[in-house]
Amino acid sequence: MTTPSLVSRFHVLPLTFIFAFAAVAVVQLPAGEGLVMHWDMQGQPDWIWSRNIAFALVPAFAVAVTAAFAIGGAITPKNRLEMARHVLEPALTAILSLCTAVQLGLLALGLGSDLDILRVVAGAVAVGLLFLGILLREAERHTYAGLRLPWRIPDDRIWRRTHEIAGWGYIGAAIVLAGLTWLQSYPGTLVTALPFALFVPVLLARLSLLGQKRA
């Protein structure tokens, strides 16, 4: 009996919507029209994308991620895959749902909305980081769950402490990112803040691990 793929029929639905929104954009929007992605404090557009680039990026990313999950599921041993399925399937669903929301936001922009797509993405990432932080704080040690770090965590006590610190780090990063999303008017700040919000909590976990090893 073969193991079901990580990519289910349910995952095909958001992919269909993503390509459908792109098709509507191609039909409804002139090829040379730019999409205003952000406005400055004076209300002037300061970040403009061409139609073709804007509506090609999300489908390309969604297909690449889906293919990576499908290939990874196919080459992973069955026992390992089943241990991680409860994490991987929701993760793919969340990624494709975010892609669908972004593509719909781009279409709304093209049709005349004054939506700030960067703020939408940053806000969605903040919500995701909040849930990630909560999950990490409640996680139990498991071979295929929790933080996937390039360094070894020696015992259960340190594993739990490291994940608690990383969890609080992601919760704090979510709050800061949400605040910037609401208050910050410059796109460069949010673009810079996004990778920091993703990786600083992992750095904190690493520093915590080094400190606990010395203790």
pLDDT at 41: 60
d(CA 125, CA 108): 20
Give pLDDT, residue 147: 63
| Residue 35 φ then ψ, to 5° | -105, 125
Contact 192, 180 (CB under 8 A): no
How far apart are the C-alpha atoms of 192 and 186, rounded to whole Å? 11
DSSP state of 42: T
Domain ranges of the chain: 1-115, 116-215
Q: Which two tokens stand for residue 35?
A: 């999409």
Structure tokens at 117: 């797509």
Phi, psi of 27 (to 5 degrees): -75, -40
Question: What Rg value do the Cα atoms of the chain yield, rounded?
Answer: 20
Q: Cα–Cα distance between 201 and 163 in angstroms, integer?
A: 10
The beta strand positions in the chain, using DSSP E, are 34-39, 45-50
Q: Give the pair of three-digit tokens for residue 186.
A: 């410059």
**Mean pLDDT, contiguous 10-residue spans, the chain (215 residues):** 71 93 90 70 70 89 93 82 73 84 83 75 83 75 58 69 84 90 72 82 75 59
- Position 141 scores a pLDDT of 63
Residue pointed to by tokens 């490291």: 162
